[in-house]
Structure 1
Amino acid sequence: MTQPNEIQHAILLVAGVGSRLRPLTDELPKCLLEVGDVPLLIRLLRQLHSHGIEHAVLATGYLEPKIRACVAGYSGIPDITIRHNPHYAETNNAESLRLAMPALQGHPFILCDGDILVKKSGWLGDLLAHPHDNVLAMISPEKMGDEEMKIALADGDAPVGERPVVGLSKRLDPAKSAGESLGVQTIGADFFGPLLDRLDGMSANEKANSYYEDIFAELMGDEHTFYAHEVPVDAWTEIDTVEDLEYARELFANWQK
């Protein structure tokens, strides 16, 4: 089992086209859109570095040269590796994860979607120090729809963080789900090999359509148990649309008050 604060590596998935943010993403990848005058990617790298991350792998795709240029001027995390997905336009994020993982050589890591805004608070550190391996950050919103990546937990009276995840899918019934996955999770060393083996074995159809959460859900079981770490609803947001970006900027402004 990974020991608390042992995780020093991260993978950030920043390959997406961001088509729902056009025209803002016509010449800029969405991870470089700014909130509070700082690109989302740089803000997330700074936050991860403040919690002990020393090596970050960027899984790039769309407009990779813009991302390279941006991180060239960043001086926080000392070791940044770029792994390009040349088929980013035809594949989903499980393929980007597959291409990025070998750079970590089996080390436990934190995996983050690159289109998120995270409140500067302790929850990232709490996630990294969670007593279990393979932990999904989760919020519990009042409503969830078809687009949310939903989490179901085992029944019981134990605290959220001690109840194994028994379901992870956009297709889960919201009424039977405990919350929504934030696209931030830790992966333990024991799960690294089986996960990469399964990713390497993906079919062409799976590469085109599978989210990494689909692969997690398939591998969950007695040997590879996942847990959830609940985060305040207003401590995070994702940015998929222009409206999401406007909300993120409003949320960030409220955080400064």
Structure 2
Amino acid sequence: MTNRTRAVILAAGVGSRLRPHTDAVPKPLVKVNGTPMLHNALHQLSELGICEATIVVGYRKEAIEKSCGRRSEGVEIEYVYNPIFDRTGSAYSLWLARNTMLAGDTVLLEGDVFFEREVLERTLRTVSPTKKNVAAVAAFTEAMSGSAVELAEDHSVSTFVMNQTPAQAQARSLFKTINLTHLSAAALHDRLVPALHRAVESGHRTAYVEQILAPLVENRELPLSAADCSDTRWFEIDSEADLQLAEEIFRLPPALALSDPSSAKLAAGARR
């Protein structure tokens, strides 16, 4: 990875399902075993040589700015404010960070995902001259629901499928999106940023990022490869139950967390 690769972290949401934790702090600052989710993300980025990040803030933005400052975990930080964070989806927040995306290759992250280094490292390791756009995914388990993808034989993403239950996803052998994606400068400039702009201009401001990516991928306008991270530790934290499960996963030694049948369903999880 070169220093030209930047990160965009979406951290504007209210996090209402994680109350009372989010009454005092924004969701990305909620701690997993003592470490705020956002600090963990910045640390993993820095460890792999990504030293510039744009954080899109909204709810309790001052808390994030105070916690991270202009430099945290070795990452230089720029903030973009979403003033209508309580009425817009993740796609709108991402559109606000378009200047960063137009500057070069970018790693897109949701601020409520707690993950170990291997998730990001494997995603970046999958990037190559023929696979410039890569999304981290994991096999669907009973702990998951929400957005999913179907993979082609070459491990490229062929279809996005929204609002999946575990039974629906497992019946189709779908993979869960981890909400960590590397996109090339060309894909951002030619495809994603224009698509975000069209959505915003048309008034479609509550969309998720996946809903913008889906038609681009399915129409083969934006080729997207998958990095299978099923055997890594990560968790998307939306609720108190999610937080407890995440702390259990990251409290256990990695091998036990991934092999113990009683905790296997926790190896990767997300609810939207």
TM-score interval, smaller chain? 0.7 to 0.9
Contact 1:42/1:74 (<8 A) preserved: no
CA distance in 2, matches of 1:196, 1:249: 35
Alpha-carbon shift at residue 211 of structure 1 (Å): 0.6
1:148 maps to 2:146: yes
CA displacement at 1:164 relative to structure 2: 2.2
| C-alpha contact 1:5 1:128 (8 A) present in aligned 2 | no
Report what 1:135 is aligned to.
134
State the match for 2:156 in structure 1: 164
2:91 is matched with: 94
Instruction: Calculate the TM-score normalised by the size of structure 2.
Output: 0.83
Match in the other structure for 1:159: none
Relative distance call for 1:255 and 1:144 in structure 2 (3 A) is: closer
2:220 equivalent to 1:228: no
1:106-125: CA deviations, max 9, x gaps?
311111110011024x3311
Q: Give the letter for the 2:159 counterpart.
A: G
TM-score for both structures, normalised by structure 1:
0.87
Distance 1:7 1:181 in 2: 25
- Cα shift at 1:204: 5.3
Query: Bigger relative contact order, structure 1 or 2, given CA contacts below 8 A and separation 6+?
Result: 1
Structure 2, unaligned runs of 5 or more: 257-272
Partner of 2:184: 188
Distance verdict in 2 for CA 1:182–1:78, change over 3 Å: closer
- Cα RMSD (Å): 2.1
Partners of 1:205 and 1:233 in 2: how far apart?
A: 40
Number of aligned pairs? 245
Match of 1:125 in 2: 121
Q: Distance in 2 between matches of 1:115 and 1:224?
A: 25
Local SS of the residue matching 1:180 = strand
Aligned partner of 1:72 among 69, 72, 76: 69
- Structure 2: distance between partners of 1:198 and 1:20: 29
Q: Secondary structure of the residue that 1:16 maps to in structure 2? A: coil
**Which of 191, 198, 202 lines up with 1:201 in the alignment?**
198
1:34 to 10, 31, 36: 31
> After the TM superposition, which of the residue ranges 81-90 and 33-42 deviates more from structure 2?
33-42
2-structure distance, mates of 1:192, 1:68:
27
What's the CA shift for 1:218? 1.3
TM-aligned CA distance change 1:81 to 1:6, over 3 Å: closer
Distance 1:52-1:92 versus aligned 2 partners, 3 A rule: same
1:241 to 239, 242, 251: 239
Q: CA deviation at 1:128?
A: 1.1
Check 1:111–1:192 CA distance in 2 against 1; reply closer, same or farther (3 A cut).
same
SS in 2 for 1:240: coil
Change (3 A) 1:226 1:144: farther
The amino acid that maps onto 1:133 is K
Mark the CA change 1:98 to 1:254 in structure 2 (over 3 Å): closer, same or farther. Answer: same
Following the alignment from structure 1 to structure 2, what is the Cα–Cα distance between the partners of residues 89 and 100? 17
* Alpha-carbon distance in 2 for matches of 1:218, 1:73: 36
Counterpart-to-counterpart distance in 2, 1:199 and 1:30: 24
Distance 1:163 1:232 in 2: 14
- Give the residue type in structure 1 aligned to 2:197: D
Render the CA deviation track for 1:152-200: whole Å, top value 9, x for unaligned: 112x3xxxxx332111131565222431001111111111112111111
Distance (Å, rounded) in 1 between the aligned partners of 2:97 and 2:70: 22
| Distance in 2 between residues matched to 1:228 and 1:78, nearest whole Å | 26
After superposition, the Cα gap between the structure-2 partners of 1:102 and 1:73, relative to the gap in structure 1 and judged at 3 Å, is: closer
Equivalent residue for 1:22, pick from 16, 19, 23: 19
Of all paired residues, the percent bearing the same amino acid is: 29
After superposition, the Cα gap between the structure-2 partners of 1:205 and 1:143, relative to the gap in structure 1 and judged at 3 Å, is farther
